């Protein structure tokens, strides 16, 4: 590996177990279709299994495509919902290996970014503080960022710490509707008056919007987006009153 390659940022594969599981299940379904047709002589079963197998393989391919390419475009879509001044203090909840954090900090002339995560490798391949710090350094933003270990539902920040809170594909990993609602409340708590939260996810987005509205914020939903955000994702844009 050359030095240039070693210094390139690497944002990993989202939900690597899901990608592999879909692919293996698809291959198994196609193999069973062959058995149903060749050995059992049941063409209808073979057709059904073939359709299932192809669907699983396509889903695996689209999920992998999003991890390698689509999530960069979707990141820019998320960031486009913020009217940047350039001096914001921002928080990325579930920062993973820093894709959203890096993109946001590069839009700042004098601001600062914080990434919060519990670094679960099931959610993102090789997810770790060290991997994220390496990406921040490779992208030239390490001096304007800090990383904090902690859960979204119990953030270690004072009230009104951030102008912007961002999150992508994090909240659905929090178990329990009450705990997810607590995480939304924590996002609202750490936002400054007039601040904005932009949360993208594949599940529970409408419930997040309801939670934000229930605590006095405005909330709108954008999406769903499919082609470059597979599985389909929606975005909630919530604003805290001044």
pLDDT band at 225 (very low <50, low <70, confident <90, very high): confident
Answer whether 106's CB lies under 8 Å from 90's CB: no
H helical segments located in the chain: 3-6, 16-38, 43-65, 71-79, 99-105, 129-138, 177-190, 205-214
d(Cα 186, Cα 59) in Å, to the nearest integer? 34
d(Cα 48, Cα 53) in Å, to the nearest integer? 9
Query: Rounded to two decimals, what is the model's pTM?
Result: 0.75
Asked if the bond preceding 9 is cis, omega within 30° of 0, the reply is no
Question: Considering the chain, what is the average pLDDT of its residues?
Answer: 83
* 21-35, 50-64, 181-195, range with greatest mean pLDDT: 181-195
Q: Residues 159-212: pLDDT tens digits?
A: 999 999 999 988 988 989 999 999 999 999 999 999 999 999 988 999 999 999
**Which CATH number is associated with domain 84-239?**
3.40.50.150
What tokens does 99 get? 């894709």
pLDDT band at 64 (very low <50, low <70, confident <90, very high): low
Which pLDDT belongs to residue 178?
93
Q: Residues 93-127: pLDDT tens digits?
A: 999 888 899 999 999 988 899 999 988 766 555 66
Phi, psi of 212 (to 5 degrees): -60, -45
Query: What does the DSSP assignment read for 176-229?
Result: SHHHHHHHHHHHHHHEEEEEEEEEEESSSHHHHHHHHHHTT-EEEEEEEE-TTS
Please name which of 8, 13, 206, 168 lies closest in space to residue 75, comparing C-alpha atoms: 168
Name beta bridge partners: 147. 115
């Amino acid at each position: 590996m050359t030095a240039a390659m070693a210094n390139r940022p690497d944002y990993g594969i989202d939900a690597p177990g899901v990608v592999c599981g879909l692919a293996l299940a698809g291959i198994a379904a196609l193999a069973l279709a062959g058995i149903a047709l060749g050995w059992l002589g049941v063409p209808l079963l073979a057709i059904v299994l073939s359709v299932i197998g192809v669907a699983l393989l396509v889903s695996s391919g689209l999920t992998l495509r999003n991890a390698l390419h689509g999530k960069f475009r979707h990141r820019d879509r998320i960031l486009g919902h913020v009217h940047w001044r350039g001096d914001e203090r921002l928080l990325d909840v579930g920062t993973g290996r820093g894709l959203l954090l890096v993109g946001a900090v590069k839009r700042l002339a004098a601001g600062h970014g914080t990434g919060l995560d519990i670094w679960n490798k099931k959610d993102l391949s090789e997810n770790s503080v060290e991997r994220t710090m390496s990406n921040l350094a490779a992208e030239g933003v390490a001096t304007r960022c800090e990383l904090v270990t902690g859960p979204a539902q119990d953030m270690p920040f004072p009230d009104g710490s951030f102008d912007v809170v961002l999150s992508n594909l994090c909240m659905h990993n929090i178990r329990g509707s009450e705990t997810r609602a607590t995480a939304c409340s924590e996002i609202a708590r750490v936002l400054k008056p007039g601040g904005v939260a932009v949360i993208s996810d594949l599940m529970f987005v409408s419930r997040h919007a309801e939670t934000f509205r229930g605590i006095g914020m405005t909330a709108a939903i954008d999406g769903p987006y499919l082609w470059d955000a597979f599985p389909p994702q929606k975005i909630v844009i919530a604003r805290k009153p001044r």
